[in-house]
Amino acid sequence: MFEVRGRTGVVTLNRPRALNALTHPMVLRIDEALTAWEDDPAVHQVLIRGAGERGLCAGGDIRAIHDDAKAGTTASADFWRDEYRLNAHIARYPKPYVALMDGIVMGGGVGVSAHGSVRVVTERSRVAMPETGIGFVPDVGGTRLLGAAPGLLGTHLALTGAAVGAADAILCGLADHFVPAAALPELTAELAAAPAAEVLRRRAEVPPPGELAERRAWIDRCYAADTVEEIVERLFAEGDPAAKETAETILAKSPTALKTTLAALRRAADLTTLPQVLAQEFRVSCNALASPDLVEGIRAQVVDKDRSPRWSPARLEEVVAADVERFFAPLGAARELTFPGPGPC
C-alpha cells in the first residue's frame, strides 16, 4: 500500500499472513513509487514498514522459487532481476529512506531495509540472512552488507543463518537506531511532520545488550580459516559451548551452499560497488536453480516441513572446487544483470 502522509511517502508491505513476503508485482510497485517520489517536491523522505505484528518482511516467496526450479522456467530469474535493481535503487536513493525493521526481517526483507539510510530496529527484531538452510546463498546485496560487518561477524551470520536482535544488528551495520516497538506508531506519526533525523534524535534509545560483542574474539579466530571445514574444526576446538553449538548449526546446512557462500563473501570484498556485487549474486542465484539442494532445502523447510533435508553432496569434504565454481559461471551477455539509469551506488 502506498500513501503520502505529510512530508513522508509511506510503503506498507501488506501480506501479514505470509509475513509480508515479497512477490514480483510488489517489487515492481515499490520501485515505481520510489521513482515517482524521488521527483516529487512534496515528498521529503520515504518510510517502509510491514503490516501486522509479526515482522517487516520474511523475504521472497520461496515456495514459488521451489516450483520454478522444478519446472525449469524463468520466473525466479525475472523476479531477482527486478528485486536486485530495487535494492540498488534503495541504496542510492537521494532522500532519507526510513525502514522500520520490527519483528522478522529476513532475506529479501533485509534487501528492502538494510540498504536504506535510516534503519530502525526494536526489541522484537530478528534480522537474518538464512539462505544456507535452504541450499541457497545470501543475495539482495547481503554478501556486501555482511562483508562490511566488523571483523568476521558477517561471515558467522552468513554461514549459520543466525537471526540477531537489535543490538547485534546495529553492531553488524545492518541497522542504525533502536526504538521500542510500542513507540513506532508515534514515530510514524511524527515523521509526517518532521525530518527523520530530528525524530530519531528524540525517539532513539539504547538497545538491550546483544550476544555477538562478547563472542567476537572466537568468531574472528575461527572464521579466519581458509575453508568451511577448517572453520568448523576451529569452532569445535574452542572449548566454548557457544562455539560448539555454532559448529553444529553450520553442519546442518547445505554443504554446497556453505562453500559457495564463503566464496561469495570473499569475492564480494574485492568488488567496488553494490551493483557489481548484485550482478555476482544474480549469477549465483540463477545457477542455484539447477542445484538439487535448493529444491530439497525449500521442500524440507517450507513444503513438507519435515526439517530433514537430504543434501547432495551430504558432506563438506565431498564438495569440490568445481562444484562451487559452477555457481559463478557467466550467464551469457543477454542474461547478465545490468543497471540502467543513474551511475553505481
Residues with catalytic annotation? 60, 108, 131, 139
Parallel, antiparallel or unpaired: strands 2-5 and 8-13:
antiparallel
Cβ-contact 57, 106 below 8 angstroms = yes
Grid coordinates of 326: 559452477
Order the strands of the 104-106 sheet from edge to edge.
55-57, 104-106, 126-128
Parallel, antiparallel or unpaired: strands 45-50 and 97-101:
parallel
Half-sphere exposure of 186 (CA within 13 A, CB side): 10
| CA distance linking residue 211 with residue 19, whole number of Å | 26
- What is the three-class DSSP state of 68? helix
Cβ-contact 102, 50 below 8 angstroms = yes
Grid coordinates of 291: 542445484
